[in-house]
């Protein structure tokens, strides 16, 4: 295998080019962007290093793609995974151009520096320093589409089961602390369709706010039951949470409310699949739905994400903890980890930068993470792919 390195840019140049290639994911079509530019850069760079590269379109993604680079033969090995997309940005909140890498006080500003296009630049920096001709087990790089919205990229890749690595690292910003477990996320919209009318004769209408009061009462019972029956003490909030984030109904004090909406957020623990949680909501509201046929509509506000759990006892977690100098921990935000784990690999979330910078105006990566990340990645690749 002949490795070509003449074309490869340095770390800062990789960051600059990745940040300069907008790849926003949004549910709103007018904000949503292609990830083609990022994919093209990764395809060129990893191809120049001798990786076998493939690009596949992701269904239900407005024409976006996953990118996979592979080097080495045989079984097992390591998957380094990340997403190509960023969240939208508030132009008024940014001091710098979000699509131009700006350095100030040892901080690299730009949309995606931390969350998380910059991770790929550091992976590239790590692998270019390794003797890739001597690799014994495959090294895979996955750059997925639409993590910030549907996670359809990771879901599609997991369903294909085209690779079977022993280990996986997902490079989300964790301050280089390994994460072995996180909660999931489900958001539902509940709409009550009543019958409007004049408030002077309530019997001629059906007040959607009053029905919603019954719905919330039942959901409060579910909230209490979830807290009583599901527990994981590793989390600071050790039970599934439920939040009533939005409620709106009616248009005038003298008019019977004909429609009322509630937006619901539930964060399940590992071991509580989203499909089971959705069924629980439906079952708790079934008596009200029977009393008022056709009155209750339950919808998904946007695609949910499953909870994730690996183990602190497996060899991979122990090795990564030792090399990183941090014990594995849990977090409350969601990642692609539950889908990557479906490949059958021991899976951890670990990457440079702080989650406090994710989804924030003037996002930055502290440059103090750059060399430690490259060093740690080289160590992990050595253990998984060269031994």
- Annotated catalytic residue 115: no
5 located within any domain: no
Tell me the two tokens of residue 324: 């990183």
313 located within any domain: yes
Does residue 269 sit in the same domain as residue 310? no
Does residue 368 sit in the same domain as residue 219? no
Does residue 111 sit in the same domain as residue 260? no
Give the residue-averaged pLDDT of 77-87: 98
Cα distances from 204 to residues 197, 199, 232, in angstroms, run: 7, 9, 49
Q: Which of 244, 275, 300 is at the close of a domain? A: 300
81 located within any domain: yes
Which of 244, 325, 233, 336 is closest to 281 using CA atoms? 244
Does residue 280 sit in the same domain as residue 214? yes
Q: Give the pLDDT confidence of 309-335 residue by residue, as tens digits.
A: 999 999 999 999 999 999 999 998 999
CATH number assigned to the domain comprising residue 264: 3.30.70.360
Q: Give the pLDDT confidence of 112-129 residue by residue, as tens digits.
A: 999 999 999 999 999 999
2 located within any domain: no
Give the residue-averaged pLDDT of 137-150: 97
Q: Which of 281, 300, 319 is at the close of a domain? A: 300
Q: Give the pLDDT confidence of 186-224 residue by residue, as tens digits.
A: 999 999 999 999 999 999 999 999 999 999 999 999 999
For the chain, how many structural domains are there in total?
2
Catalytic residue among 85, 146, 310, 336: 85
3 located within any domain: no
Mean pLDDT (the chain, rounded): 96
Cβ–Cβ < 8 Å for 385, 72: yes
6 located within any domain: no
- How many C-beta neighbours within 10 Å does residue 205 have? 17
Does residue 62 sit in the same domain as residue 117? yes
Does residue 163 sit in the same domain as residue 310? yes
Cβ–Cβ < 8 Å for 324, 175: no
Does residue 274 sit in the same domain as residue 310? no
Query: 76 in the Ramachandran plot: left (φ > 0), alpha (ψ -120 to 50) or beta?
Result: left
Tell me the two tokens of residue 341: 């784990």
- Taken in order 24, 25, 30, 33, the sign of the CA dihedral is positive
Catalytic residue among 32, 115, 146, 147: 147
Does residue 263 sit in the same domain as residue 331? no
Cβ–Cβ < 8 Å for 264, 299: no
pLDDT confidence of 265, banded at 50, 70, 90? very high
Backbone dihedral angles phi then psi of residue 39, each to the nearest 5 degrees? -60, -45
Does residue 20 sit in the same domain as residue 148? yes
Contacts of 289 (CB under 8 A, 6+ apart): 295, 296
Cβ–Cβ < 8 Å for 171, 116: yes
pLDDT at position 7, please? 74
Q: Give the pLDDT confidence of 164-179 residue by residue, as tens digits.
A: 999 999 999 999 999 9
- Annotated catalytic residue 278: no
Residue span of the structural domain in which 218 resides: 186-300
**pTM of the complete model:** 0.93
Cβ–Cβ < 8 Å for 197, 328: no
Does residue 287 sit in the same domain as residue 336? no
Q: Which of 271, 300, 329 is at the close of a domain? A: 300
Does residue 46 sit in the same domain as residue 164? yes
CATH number assigned to the domain comprising residue 169: 3.40.630.10
pLDDT at position 91, please? 87
Does residue 172 sit in the same domain as residue 56? yes
Cβ–Cβ < 8 Å for 45, 121: no
Which of 62, 103, 69, 51 is closest to 85 using CA atoms? 62
What is the Cα–Cα distance from 155 to 145, expressed in whole angstroms?
10
325 located within any domain: yes
CA–CA–CA angle 152, 191, 359 (5° rounding): 40
What per-residue string of b and e applies to 343-367 under the rule 16 or more CB within 10 Å gives b?
Answer: bebbbbbbbbbbbebbebbbbbbbe
What is the Cα–Cα distance from 260 to 116, expressed in whole angstroms?
38
pLDDT at position 2, please? 40
4 located within any domain: no
Bridge partner list, 103: 108
């Amino acid at each position: 295998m002949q490795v070509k390195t003449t074309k490869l840019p340095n770390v800062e140049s990789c960051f600059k080019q990745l940040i300069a290639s907008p790849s926003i994911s949004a549910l709103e079509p007018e904000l949503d962007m292609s990830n083609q530019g990022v994919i093209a850069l990764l395809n060129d760079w990893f191809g120049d290093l001798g990786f076998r590269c493939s690009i596949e379109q992701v269904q239900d993604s407005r024409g976006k793609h996953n990118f996979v680079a592979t080097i080495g033969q045989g079984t097992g090995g390591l998957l380094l995974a990340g997403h190509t997309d960023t969240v939208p940005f508030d132009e008024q909140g940014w001091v710098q151009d979000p699509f131009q890498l700006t350095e100030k006080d040892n901080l690299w500003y730009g949309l995606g520096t931390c969350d998380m296009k910059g991770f790929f630049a550091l992976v590239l920096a790590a692998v270019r320093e390794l003797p890739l001709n001597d690799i014994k087990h495959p090294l895979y790089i996955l750059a997925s589409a639409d993590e910030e919205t549907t996670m359809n990229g990771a879901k599609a890749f997991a369903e294909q089961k085209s690779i079977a690595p022993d280990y996986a690292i997902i490079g989300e910003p964790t301050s280089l602390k390994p994460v072995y477990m996180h909660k999931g996320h489900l958001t539902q919209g509940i709409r009550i369709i009543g019958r409007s009318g004049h408030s002077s004769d309530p019997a001629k209408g059906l007040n959607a706010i009053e029905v919603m009061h019954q719905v919330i009462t039942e959901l409060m019972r579910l909230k209490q039951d979830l807290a009583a029956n599901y527990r994981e003490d590793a989390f600071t909030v050790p039970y599934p949470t439920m939040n009533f984030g939005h409620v709106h109904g009616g248009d005038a004090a003298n008019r019977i409310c004909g429609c009322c909406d509630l937006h619901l957020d539930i964060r399940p623990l590992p071991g509580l699949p989203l499909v089971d949680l959705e069924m629980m909501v439906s079952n708790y509201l079934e008596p009200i739905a029977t009393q008022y046929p056709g009155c209750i509509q339950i919808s998904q506000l946007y695609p949910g994400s499953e909870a994730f759990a690996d183990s602190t006892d497996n060899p991979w977690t122990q090795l990564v903890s030792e090399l990183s100098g941090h014990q594995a921990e849990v977090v409350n935000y969601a990642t692609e980890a539950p889908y990557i784990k479906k490949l059958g690999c021991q899976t951890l979330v670990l990457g440079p930068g702080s989650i406090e910078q994710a989804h924030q105006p003037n996002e930055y990566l502290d440059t103090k993470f750059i060399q430690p990340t490259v060093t740690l990645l080289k160590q992990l690749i050595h253990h998984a792919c060269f031994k």
